Each structure stands twice: as structure tokens, then as C-alpha cells.
Amino acid sequence: MVRRLARPHHRPARKWQRSVDTLLNNLDIFTTGFKNTAILFVVSAVFALILGTIVGGMRVSPVPVMRAMGTVYVNIVRNTPLTLIFFFFVFGYPKLGLAELSYPVLAIIALTLYTATYVAETLRAGINTVPLGQAEAARAIGLPFMQSLSLVILPQAFRAVMPPMISVFIALLKNTTVAAGFSVAEAGAIRANLSERGEPAIVVLLWVAFVFVVLVALLSAIQHHFEKKWQVTR
Amino acid sequence: MKPAKKKAGLLASLAVAALALTACGGGGSGGGGGETAASAPYTVASNVSLDGSPTFDKIKQDGKVVIGVKQDQPGLGFKDAATGEYSGFDIEIARWIAADLGYPADKIEYKAIPSANRESAIVNGDIDYYVGTYSITDKRKQSVDFAGPYFETGQGLLVKKDNTSINSEKDLAGKNVCSATGSTPIQNIKENFPDTKTTEFDTYSQCIDALNNGQVDAVTTDQAILIGYAAQDPEHLKVVGEPFTVEKYGVGLKKGDDVLRKHINEMFTNGNDTWTKIYDQTLGQSGTKVEQPAVDNY
């Protein structure tokens, strides 16, 4: 036991140096990986926000068909594992003989469709917090449904759901790593690449986790910013 | 009724004939193997002692051998989903080592471990040793030790049977090639064949699916693995060209266990007959002939 403790290569300084080497010697893999993660995240987030808002609006619309369509879409996609959705788009879609799409595009479609359901439901929760009087007042001054939704209801709804909405996008950020198994070289693929280069897997994973923590902290900062900006005295 | 009976009778006589044939084969080539089933060309050793091998101490303490293997490579390391039985060249090599340490097949616990987790499984002691298309590299030698090599192969190409445009690695420009995410072969394609498109999936079987669907033109990885897939579906798939890299498979061991490493190396060096029989029973069924590589006792 004493001998083991005295072994020289257990000195922490050298271990730290080796871990830094793992990062610096493979910076190419790390940067391409996280660049692709960023692309997947930003593009999917924008589309999911747009689609989710539309679907959220459909679910409170006065037209029964719209409501039904929104409900069916949300309930089917939200109850399906993300990996399965990826499987469908990567292995099923090409068999349909439609336009050929690259793997990153297919990944963005899968991530968008999946995340939009959560955006829609989060937003619907926000819409429900807006007092009924607001909608009635909007109608009373003659606004049609679309305008009362976009000018009166949604701004208040978004403000109310800022924290859970950011949670949805944090989940999206982490979900992008599923694409690594479907031919998109993003952060989730870093470990596989580096383990083939003989780098210690734990160290690589800790670096990847560290960058994710930084990115999530960034999203949390955005949340705080908007919460403050949109704060109202009630 | 009658023809059915006739058929059954024919089948029975065929089965008897097959049994007689295998019995003959076993007796003829088995040598000192005894009268046990002809399937295993090695015998379980007794009274094995390996002083100073921490891995062997742990095996003795557990009363079983825990071996890391692959489960999705037909012909090499493959787990039958229905029966849970493992089979293949790597599996037989693993069983041979266990037998040489004094442990029969029913004292073996298999753990399917994907490529990316091999080093950590060995370093953490989750497994006693690893046999699963594990290429010996200097970088890996920094965290684990290798006995062997016990097999030599190289990067090859698998294409559809009716493909005439790809005959070797020189025909890859503009083609779409698939392999496992981040694997050495796909990194090699990206670096040395810049005109080639790449597709990366979690498993080789997904690549095979994509090949059959026409989403990719070829699947690339170690030729031994590809031969296994071609043997599984010879009507639709074929291996083309010669290996264009050199990969030497070793047995992954905990770093510093030189006693066990030397013991296994000795077994490989003295066991060329056994090696050949194992090869003929597994990968050799595809019709390929390969020589056992010389052991590197570093």
C-alpha cells in the first residue's frame, strides 16, 4: 500500500498535463465536433421555435381540424424516442425515393420535429396563464384570431414560460449528440474518434462534458437576460 | 403420407452419414485430443499456476474468466440473438486462452464491449482480457498490454455482388463509403482519400443495411470483419481488392501483467496446429487461407 502511494506517476500535475495534451493534440476533432453541434443546435432551435409556435397556436385555435392536427402531431412525435425518429429519417426516408438529403439535413429535420412538440406544449402552458379577459378584450377591439394571438396572447405567454422554454432548448443541445450515430460528426462522435487514436476515453468525455456545461451556462445566461428584460410588476 | 416418410428417412440417413464423417475427421486430425467432441481443438489445462499475475489471481478468486468480446461481427465475434451463444474466430481464441488457463467453456463469462470502451474496460478491471478485432497500436500500448498478435489483416472493401465499378481502393473517388463512427478505417479514408464521401453509423450492421439499400457504395473496415459479412450473405455481398493497411489483432490485457502476456504468447507460439484448426472452423469457411502471424513478445 505504501509503495503504491509512493509511485511517482500518480502526481496530479502530470496527470493534468496529460489531460491538457489530450485536448490540445486533438483540437481539430474537438473544434469540428463542436462546430457541427453548434450548427445542428442553432438551425434546429430556430426551426423548432417557428414550428412549435405554429403548432402551439393550432392547439388553441377555434378551428376543430387545426386543433386535432396539432394534438395528433404532438402526441405521436412526443411519445416516440428520438433515436427512432432518427432511424426513420436516416434509413426509412431514403427508401421513399424523394429528394436526396444529406445526413446533417436529415438530423436537423429529426431534431426539429422532435423539439417542436415540446416547444408547442410549453407555449400552450404559457397561453393558459394569460387571463381569459385578455383574449376577450382583444376580440372586443375587433382583432381577428391570428392578431389577438400574435399581438396580445403570445407575447405574454412567452414571457411566462421563459424558464421551461430554455430547458427545452438545453435538452435540444444535448439531444444533438444522438446524431453522432447517424453520420453527423458532432460532439457525440469525439470520443469514438479519439479512442481510436488511443486517447483515454474518460479524459475525452470530461472535456466534452466541460464544453457542454459552458454552453448550457450560456443558455442559462440568455434566460436570465430575457427574464429581467421582460419582467413586469404584477 | 408416403413421400413425407421417404423424405424423413433420407434426412435421417444423411444425418448419420454426416455424423460418421465428422467423427472420422476428428479422429484423423485430433491426435492426442482424446474422444471428446471434435469441435474444440484444445484441451482444458489443469494445475495451472501463474505466480505474479494479478489477472490470474483475480480469475482464481472469482472462479471464472470474464472475457470482453464483440457481439456483432459474424465469423469473428457474434452473439446469436435467439440462443445467446457466442461464436466466431475471436471467441474460439478467447476460449482457447481460457482452456489454457484451466477454465472450460462453462466457466467463461462474456461481456460484449464496443470498440470505444475497450481500454476503460481493461483498465478498470471489468474484464480479465479482451479478444475482439483489437488492433495493436503504440498509442494503445500506453494504457493496455497486448498478447499476440494472433491474426493479421488490413483495411478492405465490401461492395454489392453486382458492383463492377469498385475493384480496389483506387476506385473510391466520388464514391460513398461507410464505416463505424470515428473508427480508424473511416479516419484513414478521410485523410488519404479526400475525394471519397464518408458515412458513419454506430454499428457495421447499419452500414451493411445502407449498402443493401444503395445509400452507400461500399463498406470499409478490417477485411476479416468484411469476410464475415460476405460469408453471411454471399448472394448479395462480396469483398474486393487486397488489404491496403496492416492491422494486427492482439489480446488486450491489463498493463503490466507480463506473466500472463508471456503465458498467452507461449501458447500462441506453440499452438500453430490449434490455431489452424480454429481458423478452418470459423473464418476459413469462407474459403480464405491465412497464416498465423509470429508472436511479438515485446
Domains of chain B: 40-153+248-286 (3.40.190.10), 155-240 (3.40.190.10)
Longest CA pairwise span in chain A (Å): 85
Q: Which residues of chain B does A186 touch, with a Cβ-Cβ cutoff of 8 Å?
A: none
For residue A106, name the pLDDT band (cuts at 50, 70, 90).
very high
Is A189–B209 a contact, with Cβ atoms under 8 angstroms apart? no
d(CA B90, CA B78) in angstroms, rounded, equals: 9
Q: Which residues of chain A does B198 touch, with a Cβ-Cβ cutoff of 8 Å?
A: 183
Q: Residue type for A198, please?
A: G
Q: If we measure between CA atoms, which residue out of B187, B192, B179 comes closest to residue B229? A: B179
- Interior CA angle at A80 toward A77 and A85, to 5°? 80
Q: Which residues of chain B does A185 touch, with a Cβ-Cβ cutoff of 8 Å?
A: 182, 200
Distances (CA, A) of B43 to A23, B34, B56, B101: 48, 9, 19, 10
Is B182–A91 a contact, with Cβ atoms under 8 angstroms apart? no
Distances (CA, A) of A184 to A34, A94, A115, B200: 11, 16, 18, 7
Is A181–B181 a contact, with Cβ atoms under 8 angstroms apart? yes
- Residue A19 in any domain: the answer is no
- Residue A151 in any domain: the answer is yes
Q: What is the pLDDT of residue A91?
A: 87
d(CA B224, CA B245) in angstroms, rounded, equals: 12
d(CA A82, CA A72) in angstroms, rounded, equals: 17
Distances (CA, A) of B30 to A162, B97, B104: 75, 18, 18
Count of C-beta atoms within a 10 Å radius of residue B26: 16
Question: Could you tell me which residues are beta bridge partners of residue B79?
Answer: B86
Question: Could you tell me which residues are beta bridge partners of residue A193?
Answer: none
Q: Identify the CATH number of the domain in which residue A225 sits.
A: 1.10.3720.10
d(CA A64, CA B176) in angstroms, rounded, equals: 47
The fraction of chain A above a pLDDT of 90, given in percent, is: 57
Longest CA pairwise span in chain B (Å): 69
- Residue A7 in any domain: the answer is no
**Interface list for chain B against chain A, based on CB atoms closer than 8 Å:** 115-120, 137-140, 142-143, 180-184, 187, 198-202, 206, 209-210, 213, 215
Q: What is the pLDDT of residue B216?
A: 92
* pLDDT digits 0-9 by tens, A81-103: 999 999 999 888 888 878 888 89
d(CA B116, CA B143) in angstroms, rounded, equals: 14
Grid coordinates given for B285: 469457411
Asked if A49 contacts A119 with a C-beta cutoff of 8 angstroms, the reply is yes
pLDDT in tens, chain B (298 residues): 444 444 554 444 444 444 444 444 333 333 333 333 346 788 887 777 778 888 888 888 888 999 999 988 888 899 988 898 998 899 999 999 999 888 888 889 999 998 778 888 999 989 999 999 998 988 888 889 999 899 999 999 999 989 888 888 888 889 999 998 888 889 899 989 989 999 999 888 889 989 998 889 999 999 988 988 888 888 889 889 888 899 899 999 999 888 999 989 989 898 888 898 888 888 877 667 778 888 888 7
State the average pLDDT over residues A183-209: 84
Q: How many domains would you assign to chain A?
A: 1
Distances (CA, A) of B277 to A91, B43, B73: 40, 13, 20
- Residue A20 in any domain: the answer is no
For residue A121, name the pLDDT band (cuts at 50, 70, 90).
very high
Q: Is ipTM > 0.90 here?
A: no
Grid coordinates given for B69: 468480446
d(CA B173, CA B248) in angstroms, rounded, equals: 27
Is B213–A195 a contact, with Cβ atoms under 8 angstroms apart? no
Asked if A204 contacts A195 with a C-beta cutoff of 8 angstroms, the reply is yes
Is B184–A180 a contact, with Cβ atoms under 8 angstroms apart? no
Q: Residue type for B25, please?
A: G
Is A192–B180 a contact, with Cβ atoms under 8 angstroms apart? yes
- Residue A17 in any domain: the answer is no
Q: What is the pLDDT of residue A10?
A: 55
Q: What is the pLDDT of residue A44?
A: 96
- Mutation pick from A22, A89, A101, A183 vs chain B, by most beta carbons of B within 10 Å, is A183
Is A181–B213 a contact, with Cβ atoms under 8 angstroms apart? no
d(CA B245, CA B156) in angstroms, rounded, equals: 8
- Residue A152 in any domain: the answer is yes
Q: What is the pLDDT of residue B67?
A: 94
- Closest residue in chain A to residue B202, using alpha carbons only: A181
Asked if A165 contacts A119 with a C-beta cutoff of 8 angstroms, the reply is yes
Grid coordinates given for B47: 494445475
Is B143–A192 a contact, with Cβ atoms under 8 angstroms apart? no
- Is the pLDDT at A233 greater than 70? The verdict is no
Q: Give the closest of A182, A192, A200 to B119, CB-based.
A: A200
Is A183–B115 a contact, with Cβ atoms under 8 angstroms apart? no
Grid coordinates given for A190: 469525439
The torsion angles phi and psi of B199, rounded to 5 degrees, stand at -130, 135
Q: Which residues of chain A does B204 touch, with a Cβ-Cβ cutoff of 8 Å?
A: none
Chain B closest CA to A90's CA: distance in Å?
9
For residue A55, name the pLDDT band (cuts at 50, 70, 90).
very high
Grid coordinates given for A39: 450548427
For residue A12, name the pLDDT band (cuts at 50, 70, 90).
low
Q: What is the pLDDT of residue B34?
A: 33
Chain B closest CA to A210's CA: distance in Å?
20
Chain B closest CA to A232's CA: distance in Å?
49
Chain A closest CA to B181's CA: distance in Å?
6
- Is the pLDDT at A7 greater than 80? The verdict is no
- Residue A8 in any domain: the answer is no
d(CA B116, CA B129) in angstroms, rounded, equals: 16
The fraction of chain A above a pLDDT of 70, given in percent, is: 94
- Residue A5 in any domain: the answer is no
Is A91–B209 a contact, with Cβ atoms under 8 angstroms apart? yes
Q: Which residues of chain A does B250 touch, with a Cβ-Cβ cutoff of 8 Å?
A: none
- Closest residue in chain B to residue A91, using alpha carbons only: B210
Q: What is the pLDDT of residue A193?
A: 84
Q: Radius of gyration over alpha carbons of chain B, in Å? A: 21
The domain of A141 spans: 29-229
Chain A closest CA to B30's CA: distance in Å?
40
Contacts of A187 (CB under 8 A, 6+ apart): A33, A34, A36, A37, A176, A177, A180, A208, A211, A212
Q: What is the pLDDT of residue B43?
A: 82
pTM given for the model:
0.72
